[in-house]
Structures are given as C-alpha cells and as structure tokens.
C-alpha cells in the first residue's frame, strides 16, 4: 500500500469524527474499459481495476433491476482514497489473452473481481465471451503470480473452484515429475481428495473432489440482504481427516485475515448477501492442507523444483487459506460457513474473498442511480467500514 493510501484509510477507520481529508468530491463511479491493453500502463498503475464477470450481481427483489455493484466499489475508493477506477466488463468483450491481462492488472493499485448472477455449476449461465473456464483460469493466473485481489460473491465461489482446479493440475505435474518425493505427495493429496465427502444438512453433495459440487454447492437456505456476519468458528467434521484439520489450524493461527479481526471491532456487523450457492467448508480445509503439502515438498526439494520447468510455477503458489467469517440463520444455525476467505503467500501478500457484498447497503442502490453516501454516512456503514479494512489488508 502506498503511504498516502494507508494514511487515508487509517483516518477513515480510526477517527469517526474527523472530516474528509480529501474535502468535497463530486460523485464518480469509474471509467469503463473494454480492452485494458489499450490503456496507458501508467494509468493502470494509478488505478483500481474492477473486473465484471457478469453485467450485474443480481436483481433487486423490489423492482427486478440489475445491481451494478462495481460502480459502488469505484465510488468508495474515490471518496476514501482519491483513486480512479477502471471497470472491465469481461462478460461483454471477454479477455482474449488471460496471461497478458494478468500482467497488466498486476500493475494496478488493486484488483477487484466482482460478483454476478451466473451459477458456478451451469456453464450456459455465463456469457460466451467470458465463460466460467476463463474466469477460473484468470484467478489461477493471479494465484500463481501472487497478485493480491478482492473476490466478491460469484468471484468468491469461482476462486474456490480455481483452488481445486489448480491443485488438480499441481498433483498431475508432481506425479509426472517421477521424483519420488514429489510423486509421493501427489498420491497423498489425490488419495485423500478421492474419498473426501462434502456433507450438508440435506445430504451428501459430493463424494470426492471429482464431483462438480465439491468446492461449491447449493446452500441450505438462500441468503438475503442485511445478514449478520459472525467470526468463523471451526467445528468438528468427523469425515474430514485429522491431518487436514490440524494443517488448517496452523494457517489460521499464523496469519491475520483482517475480516475476522474486524468482527472484534465492529459491533453487530450486517452485510448484504443474496445467493443460493456457497463454498464448502470441507473443500477449503482440504485446499489449505494441500497447499501446505505442496509448499513443504517444494521447499524441501527446491533445487529439483526450480530445475524442472513444469514445477517452477508451484514455487509461487499460496501456502494456505483461512475461513474468516460465517453467517447464521435467525435461529443461530450456520447458514454460510465459508462467508469469507483469506489466501496467503509466503511473500506476505494476501488476497481476500467474500460471499457477501460490502460495497452495497440495504437499499441495493448503485452509484449511477444516485447512491452517494457522505463521508459521515460511510463511517457509519458496516459494509463500507469492512470494505475499507479489506482494502487496507490487500493494497
């Protein structure tokens, strides 16, 4: 994070009575850019890049109008930090060269992957220009390049899917290496993954990581707006091997994901969520363990890994992930156990993903419709204060 951005966010979060140090700023909600490669790299470096996987994040229940939440992210970063935003409608034009796009976006102050209406499990709900496969491949590029990002709602789910796809690819590369230590790890990961179930209160949704619903599955209930957010509390899952649970606890104790910390400071925090799918607790604990297994063997045999082209990419993979928050039903039962995750690299970089929308308030209005909270109103907003802490963590 630049020093100026750090000072401005700190001022917003710590002094509830201070006036906006940037003074009055007219409403702005970003510049839409169909092709990021046509933008001056210096402009990208001064900006936040928001990627839209779909034209809106869902329809408002009262009027069935699509909610363009990317505008609100642009408004908040402009008002809090004075940063411009470039909004890329990937759903409209697609991203022809994912690797080049990842290189360009890595120049930005921050990358935000927005939500969207498509169903992760239904390919034809995505646009032809930006199919699910492209969305997960782009996230894999970010994960392998240690590029910090925020992933919201659909992109939270796509990131979970990307983790599993990436680990499958790693397992294949390790096995093909023929190096005994690498092969042993690949067999260990694949062996556990082939029998790890995902259980819901309504039954088993996945028998192994070969099932489509392993990473993301239908929630027990649809989450609605103005949902209270709680710290994640690990519960015993008897069908999850002890070594996975222990590895997860190591990462959770070692890293600070900020969302769970924020819940200690913000009382009775409510956020906006409307979704029917959720990331599974079992898959994220598994992903955390698998990343650690890979990190350990690559570190132990770093020369062998560095000298093998197919294994070089594994050296920059995440070292683990953490579940940071959950939502509950009105009766107190877990509703969305994996409402947020932290992704960690050994370089100290981190990424955050959330099932909820901190950039939206209960009205579900957007900046182009006149949503323009004042500095004081943003200071009192649960979602915007949480978004500010997330920006602080990854910028």
Residues 6+ apart with CB under 8 A from 146: 316, 345, 347, 349
Q: What DSSP line would sit under 323-341, residue for residue?
A: EEEEEE-TTS-EEEEEEEE
Q: What pLDDT does residue 260 have?
A: 61
Residue 148 phi/psi, 5-degree rounding, is -65, 145
Res 61 pLDDT > 90: no
User: How do residues 324-372 score in pLDDT, each as one tens digit?
Assistant: 988 876 666 777 889 999 999 999 999 999 999 999 988 999 999 999 9
Percentage of the chain modeled with pLDDT above 70: 92
Percentage of the chain modeled with pLDDT above 90: 70
Q: What pLDDT does residue 378 have?
A: 93
Model confidence at 92, in pLDDT bands (50, 70, 90)? very high
**Encoding tokens for residue 133?**
């496969």
Q: What DSSP line would sit under 227-255, residue for residue?
A: EEEEE------TTS-HHHHHHHHHHHHH-
Q: What pLDDT does residue 116 have?
A: 94
Pair type for strands 350-354 and 334-344:
antiparallel
Pair type for strands 31-32 and 85-89:
parallel
User: How do residues 197-212 score in pLDDT, each as one tens digit?
Assistant: 999 888 899 999 999 9
Which DSSP symbol is given to 108?
A: S
285: number of CA atoms within 13 Å, CB side? 26
Q: What pLDDT does residue 51 have?
A: 98
Res 242 pLDDT > 60: yes
Res 181 pLDDT > 90: yes
Which one, of 200, 351, 367, 358, lies nearest residue 273 by Cα? Answer: 358
Compute the CA torsion angle 347, 278, 120, 389 (nearest 10 deg).
-40
User: How do residues 287-327 score in pLDDT, each as one tens digit?
Assistant: 999 999 999 999 999 999 999 999 999 999 999 999 998 88
Question: Which is higher by pLDDT, 395 or 216?
Answer: 216
Model confidence at 229, in pLDDT bands (50, 70, 90)? confident
Q: What pLDDT does residue 169 have?
A: 97
Res 264 pLDDT > 70: no
Mean pLDDT throughout 142-154?
96
Mean pLDDT throughout 216-230?
73
Which one, of 22, 42, 13, lies nearest residue 391 by Cα? Answer: 13
Mean pLDDT throughout 118-147?
95
Point out which residues pair with 85 in neighbouring strands.
48
Mean pLDDT throughout 188-204?
94
Which one, of 157, 30, 158, 159, lies nearest residue 89 by Cα? Answer: 30
Q: What is the mean pLDDT of the chain?
A: 91
- The reported pTM is 0.94
Q: What pLDDT does residue 257 have?
A: 62
Cα dist from 395 to 269, 325, 350, 351, whole Å: 23, 21, 9, 10
Compute the CA torsion angle 15, 265, 284, 174 (nearest 10 deg).
50
Task: Give the H/E segment covering residue 321.
Answer: strand 320-328
Q: What pLDDT does residue 17 have?
A: 78
Mean pLDDT throughout 60-83?
94
Model confidence at 267, in pLDDT bands (50, 70, 90)? low
User: How do residues 22-41 score in pLDDT, each as one tens digit?
Assistant: 988 887 889 999 999 999 99
Question: Which is higher by pLDDT, 187 or 14?
Answer: 187
Which one, of 170, 160, 348, lies nearest residue 254 by Cα? Answer: 348
Q: What pLDDT does residue 371 have?
A: 95
Q: What pLDDT does residue 325 have?
A: 87
Res 218 pLDDT > 90: no
User: How do residues 13-25 score in pLDDT, each as one tens digit?
Assistant: 887 778 889 988 8
User: How do residues 271-281 score in pLDDT, each as one tens digit?
Assistant: 776 567 899 99
Angstrom distance (rounded) from CA 148 to CA 153? 17
Q: What pLDDT does residue 323 have?
A: 93
Cα dist from 124 to 118, 136, 155, 159, 196, whole Å: 8, 15, 17, 19, 28
Q: What pLDDT does residue 144 have?
A: 97
């Amino acid at each position: 994070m630049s020093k100026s951005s750090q000072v401005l966010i700190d001022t917003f979060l710590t002094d509830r009575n201070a006036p906006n140090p940037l003074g009055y700023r007219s409403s702005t909600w970003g510049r839409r850019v169909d092709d990021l490669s046509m933008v001056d790299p210096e402009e990208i470096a001064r900006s936040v890049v928001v990627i839209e996987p779909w034209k809106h994040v869902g329809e408002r229940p009262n009027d069935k109008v699509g909610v363009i939440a990317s505008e609100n992210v642009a408004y908040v970063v402009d008002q809090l930090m004075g940063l411009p935003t470039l909004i890329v409608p990937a759903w409209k034009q697609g991203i022809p060269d994912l690797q080049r796009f990842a290189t360009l976006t890595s120049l930005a102050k921050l990358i935000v992957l927005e939500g969207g209406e498509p169903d992760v499990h239904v390919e034809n709900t995505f646009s032809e220009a930006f199919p699910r496969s492209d969305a997960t491949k782009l996230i894999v590029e970010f994960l392998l390049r240690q590029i910090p990002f925020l992933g919201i709602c659909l992109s939270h789910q796509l990131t979970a899917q990307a983790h599993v796809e990436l680990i499958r690819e790693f397992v294949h590369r390790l096995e093909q290496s023929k190096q005994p230590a690498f092969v042993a790890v690949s067999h260990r990961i694949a062996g556990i993954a082939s029998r790890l179930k995902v259980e819901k209160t309504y039954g088993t949704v996945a028998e192994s990581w070969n099932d489509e619903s392993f990473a993301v599955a239908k929630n027990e209930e649809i989450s609605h707006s103005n949902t209270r957010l709680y710290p994640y509390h690990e519960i015993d899952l008897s069908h999850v091997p002890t070594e996975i649970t222990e590895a997860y606890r190591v990462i959770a104790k070692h890293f600070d994901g900020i969302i769970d910390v924020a819940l200690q400071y913000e009382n009775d925090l409510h956020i906006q969520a409307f979704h029917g799918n959720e990331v599974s607790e079992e898959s994220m604990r598994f992903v955390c363990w698998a990343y650690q297994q890979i990190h350990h063997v690559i570190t132990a045999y770093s020369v062998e890994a560095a000298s093998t082209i197919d294994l070089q990419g594994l050296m920059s993979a995440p070292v683990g992930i953490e579940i940071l928050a959950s939502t509950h039903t009105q009766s107190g039962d877990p509703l969305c156990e994996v409402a947020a995750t932290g992704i960690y690299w050994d370089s100290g970089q981190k990424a955050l993903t959330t099932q909820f929308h901190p950039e939206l308030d209960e009205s579900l209005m957007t900046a182009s419709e006149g949503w323009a909270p004042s500095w004081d109103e943003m200071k009192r907003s649960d979602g915007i204060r949480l978004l500010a802490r997330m920006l602080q963590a990854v910028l």
